[in-house]
């Protein structure tokens, strides 16, 4: 894989947690040469105490660490709701350990010695996924904020509209005039930023996903 191709696939900060100083140095040199920002840590506690920048990132994590293990660090991040993708590196891994890491949501599990190309490809993919996830979270937060700006009546009208009721039917259901329904419907579209009814339906589905 060419370095230029890697840069096109993902940008952000790579966090490396490994108690082997020489490994940290080697990985840092490799990843910086590709164009990524890199932060290295000797153990889980040092990483958890670090104030991460507000940017896309991924975690390259050794399984065997002094103190809390890589798997334990992965568990802590999951409990915090932290969606930072984790790429495990290990010279001592076995099948059960790999399965445990992947079941817990690890992005990749690479045994040492690993292929440089495999690592770069995994990091590029992890950064891309994290960037997409961050963007979607920001978009969803904005959409929820716009939905929250609706009045109680506007939300009622919106609910009936997305269910497919006509203005006349919505008016009858709410005991108001059809003209009033049209006014509320227009305000709903303006406040949410929806350009069409199908787009409004999709917005509501994102904010209020159905279960079952």
Q: What is the distance between the alpha carbons of residues 12 and 76, in angstroms, rounded to a whole number?
A: 22
How confident is residue 143, by pLDDT bands cut at 50, 70 and 90? very high
Q: Enumerate residues 6+ apart whose C-beta is below 8 A from 86.
A: 58, 59, 61, 74, 77, 101, 105, 106, 107
pLDDT reading at 94 higher than 90: no
> According to the model, what pLDDT value does residue 93 have?
61
pLDDT higher than threshold 60 for residue 197: yes
Sign of CA dihedral 167, 170, 172, 176: negative
| pLDDT for 25 beyond 50 | yes
Question: What is the pLDDT at residue 5?
Answer: 47
Whether cis (ω within 30° of 0) applies to the bond prior to 137 is: no
Q: What is the pLDDT of residue 8?
A: 45
d(CA 16, CA 63): 12
Helices within 35-69 (DSSP H only):
44-49
0.85 exceeded by the pTM? no
As a whole number, mean pLDDT of residues 79-100 equals 82
Q: What is the pLDDT of residues 30-39, one digit of tens each?
A: 999 999 999 9
Work out the average pLDDT over 69-80.
92
In the chain, % of residues over pLDDT 70: 92
The alpha helices in the chain, defined as continuous H runs, are 3-9, 21-34, 44-49, 70-79, 95-103, 116-148, 152-162, 167-174, 178-192, 197-207
How many Å apart are CA 97 and CA 100, to the nearest integer?
A: 5
Whole-number mean pLDDT of the chain? 89
pLDDT digits (tens, 9 = 90+) for 144-193: 999 999 999 999 999 999 999 999 999 999 999 999 999 999 999 999 99
pLDDT of residue 47: 96
For the record, the structure tokens of 53 come out as 């920048």
CA-to-CA distance for 142 and 169, rounded, in angstroms? 30
Burial label for 66, CB within 10 Å (0-12, 13-18, 19+), is exposed
pLDDT over threshold 60, residue 18: yes
Give the distance between the most distant pair of CA atoms in the chain.
Answer: 74
Who wins on pLDDT, 48 or 208?
Answer: 48
Using the predicted structure, report yes or no on whether residue 10 has a pLDDT greater than 70.
Answer: no
Q: Is the pLDDT of residue 11 over 80?
A: no
Of the two residues 98 and 83, the one the predictor is more confident about is 83
What is the rounded CA–CA span in Å between residue 58 and residue 126? 6
pLDDT bin (cut points 50, 70, 90) of residue 86 is: very high
């Amino acid at each position: 894989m060419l370095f230029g191709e890697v840069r096109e696939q993902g940008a952000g900060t790579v966090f490396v947690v490994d108690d082997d100083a020489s490994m940290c140095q080697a990985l840092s040199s490799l990843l910086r040469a590709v164009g990524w920002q890199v932060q290295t840590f000797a153990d889980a506690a040092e990483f958890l105490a670090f104030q991460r920048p507000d940017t896309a990132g991924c975690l390259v994590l050794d399984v065997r660490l002094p103190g809390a293990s890589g798997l334990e660090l992965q568990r802590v991040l999951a409990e915090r709701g932290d969606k930072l993708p984790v790429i495990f590196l290990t010279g001592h891994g076995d099948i059960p350990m790999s399965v445990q890491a992947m079941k817990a949501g690890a992005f990749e599990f690479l045994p040492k010695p690993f292929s440089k190309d495999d690592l770069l490809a995994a990091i590029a993919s992890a950064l891309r996924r994290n960037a997409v996830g961050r963007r979607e979270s920001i978009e969803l937060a904005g959409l929820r904020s716009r939905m929250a700006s609706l009045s109680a009546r506007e939300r009622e009208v919106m609910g009936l509209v997305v269910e497919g009721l006509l203005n006349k039917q919505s008016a009858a259901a709410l005991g108001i005039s059809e003209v009033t329904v049209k006014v509320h419907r227009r305000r709903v579209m303006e406040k949410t930023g929806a350009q069409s009814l199908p787009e409004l339906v999709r917005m509501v589905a994102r904010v209020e996903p159905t279960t079952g």
